[in-house]
């Protein structure tokens, strides 16, 4: 079975969301106090857990460095020390500083940058070193409040198991699957992504816990065990 096949299969994206939301309730996620914090957090959480990224964010906040100009003007060694809990901190410091400089130089403020049309914003984000599709769409959805369904490792794992797909799933294909089966709604996209993250943390882990999973009855992998 491939993604073209599951577009007309059960469960649908909406029914998956409803099963998750009925169990977990509204999540109200992404964790971030400002749009800049969301952008920085999306970059820092790459290749690490949110817990580690949050430690780095707290360090930046405590140092008074969680603003666009402070990061753009920062000393790389000092910035790296602040974000060290997030891992790969030297690389992330270089990329974070470059992104903040780009935004300031091209758009003056983060607000103006995020006000750009969604397609143009995505193209700009993807042109920056260190920002891939998942990070770009996280920034578009959570910071810019524009519709872009985020596909992360949890999402790929859940869909692969639910539909019994063995091959790797393409980012854009999966995004089209979700966006094609849902109303274009920023709030829905945000909460659905959060629901999948919660499922991945509690049940659909690398070693799954199928007993009690809210998607068990609809999951081919769960039924096959």
Kindly report, residue by residue over 154-168, the tens digit of the pLDDT: 999 999 999 998 888
Q: pLDDT digits over 65-86, tens only?
A: 999 999 999 999 999 999 999 9
d(CA 62, CA 98): 22
Which of 138, 158, 160 has the alpha carbon at shortest distance from 150?
138
Percent of the chain with pLDDT over 90: 88
Q: In the predicted model, what is the mean pLDDT of the chain?
A: 94
Cis amide bond preceding 17, omega within 30: no
Percent of the chain with pLDDT over 70: 96
Helix axes 186-202, 13-24, angle to 10 degrees: 70
Average pLDDT over residues 99-109: 98
pLDDT tops 70 at residue 136: yes
Fold (topology level) of 35-143: Endonuclease III; domain 1 (1.10.340)
Q: pLDDT digits over 1-44, tens only?
A: 566 667 667 899 999 999 999 999 999 887 678 999 999 999 99
Q: Locate the domains of the chain by residue range.
A: 3-28+150-224, 35-143
In CATH, the architecture of 3-28+150-224 is Orthogonal Bundle (1.10)
Average pLDDT over residues 35-64: 96
């Amino acid at each position: 079975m491939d993604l073209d096949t599951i577009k007309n299969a059960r469960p649908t994206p909406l029914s998956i969301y409803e099963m998750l939301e009925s169990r977990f309730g509204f999540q109200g996620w992404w964790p971030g106090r400002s749009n800049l914090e969301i952008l920085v957090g999306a970059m820092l959480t790459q290749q690490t857990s949110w817990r580690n990224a949050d430690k780095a964010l707290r360090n930046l906040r405590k140092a008074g460095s969680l603003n666009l100009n402070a990061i753009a003007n920062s000393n790389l060694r000092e910035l790296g020390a602040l974000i060290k809990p997030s891992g790969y901190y030297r690389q992330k410091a270089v990329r974070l500083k470059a992104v903040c400089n780009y935004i300031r130089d091209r758009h003056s403020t983060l607000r103006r940058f995020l006000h750009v049309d969604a397609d143009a914003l995505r193209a700009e984000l993807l042109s920056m070193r260190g920002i891939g599709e998942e990070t770009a769409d996280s920034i578009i959805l959570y910071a810019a409040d524009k519709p872009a369904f985020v596909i992360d490792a949890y999402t790929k794992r859940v869909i692969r198991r639910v539909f019994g797909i063995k091959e790797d799933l393409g980012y854009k294909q999966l995004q089209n699957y979700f966006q094609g089966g849902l109303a274009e709604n920023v709030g829905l996209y945000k909460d659905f992504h959060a629901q999948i993250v919660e499922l991945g943390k509690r049940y659909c882990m690398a070693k799954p816990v199928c007993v009690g999973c809210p998607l068990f009855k609809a999951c081919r992998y769960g039924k096959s065990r």
